Amino acid sequence: MRRSVFNEDHEAFRQTLREFIEAEVVPHYDQWFMDGQVPRALYKQLADLGLFGIEVPEEYGGAGIDSFKFAAIQTEETMRAGVSFGAAGAHIALGLPYLLDLGTEEQKQRWLPDFVSGDTMYALAMTEPGTGSDLAGMSTTARLSEDGTHYLLNGAKTFITGGVLADRVIVCARTSPPKPDDRRFGITLLAVDTTLPGYSVGRKLDKLGLRTSDTAELAFTDVRVPVGDRLGEEDRGFYYLGKNLPKERLSIAYGAYAQAAAAIRFTKQYVQDRKVFGQPVASFQNTKFELAACQAEVDAAQAVADRALEALDAGELTAAEAASAKLFCTEVAHRVIDRCLQLHGGYGFINEYPIARLYADNRVNRIYGGTSEVMKMIIAKDMGL
């Protein structure tokens, strides 16, 4: 399908990234899959490639390119190869926006150079046991000390992408009780150094999919977080989260579309090579019709994802548009990947084949970043319903 979202610079970046993936990731990926996470050394390689600094201003060691399109290409290329960079996506998509938008000049000078170099990896900790998508219901607290120099952080988080290897985690905590007419008031963002006493990583969660992305439970017991590590104003954290959620949801939409496109690529190759009743599976009319229908759906998802990407770069992506893109692209990916697995027959159920891993990885897209049901609520509200 013809596209206008990427230019020559983007395509040159794509080619460099594709060569890196083929040489440095694909040969080792089966072992990383078995290990349940990528090695920390990969993050340094990605940093050396320039991936972490694309959107970071030049004065802090980055390239200063205000565009999410390079991150979108990274998503497309990893999905195309059937691999993952682990929690590197969370480092960029979930950590960086808060540092850029909320960080003081002192914080940016202190944190961004190590962000770009991969010496400090970031994660975002929102979800808590028992709250799920109800972020306003979080119970983790951060109490300001009497001398005003630090917060005492107590509580727990779960489903934290990159939580095992993270060096600094942006933790959402309640610093004031909610107002009677505003449950969202009272949440503050703290960039917590994971080496502080009282900070602990619990289980590395054994997930159905995304096996190479470390996901953890975190616990905080009287962690003394310096006031200088607070991001933005106190009690306004929910507002900041809401501002950045459209970008997060677009990244999920883009990943889902790219997974669906990769599923077709893997399945096309498989049905051309696999023979049944003496002829290639691709020669049967049902195979052709199934893949043609899948391709039509992916074409539509690509158009939706590209439109949202352009809106994001233009600063015009609304919460409802991001929710619509996430809902549509994740539902398309669910249908397409399921149909592609069916065409693999029994081999589609074996992790040796990329389609099996895609099937497992894809399922969470309709859950994290806000469930499909939450996306429908946002869209319906925008419709005036």
Instruction: Give the dihedral of Cα atoms 235, 238, 242, 244; nearest 10 deg.
Output: 70
Among residues 55, 248, 290, 321, which one is catalytic? 248
Instruction: Report the SS3 class of residue 158.
Output: strand
100 to 103, 135, 156, 170, 382: CA distances (angstroms): 6, 22, 26, 13, 28
Q: What are the residue ranges in the chain where pLDDT is below 70?
A: 1, 132-133
Helix, strand, coil shares, percent, the chain, to 5: 55, 15, 30
At residue 192, φ and ψ (nearest 5 deg) are -95, 125
Closest CA to 50 of 9, 82, 83: 9
CA distance 309 to 53: 19
The string of pLDDT tens digits covering residues 323-349 is 999 999 999 999 999 999 999 999 999
CA distance 291 to 116: 41
Burial class (CB in 10 A: 0-12, 13-18, 19+), 360: middle
Closest CA to 250 of 313, 335, 175: 313
Residue 89: the pLDDT is 87
Residue 132: the pLDDT is 67
Q: What is the DSSP letter of 91?
A: I
**The tokens of 180 are what?**
């009677």
Residue 136: the pLDDT is 74
Residue 364: the pLDDT is 95
For residue 275, the cross-strand partners are: 280
Residue 312: the pLDDT is 96
Is there a catalytic annotation at residue 248?
yes
**The tokens of 134 are what?**
């109800």
Residue 337 CB contacts under 8 Å (≥ 6 apart), including other chains: 259, 260, 263, 355, 358, 359, 362
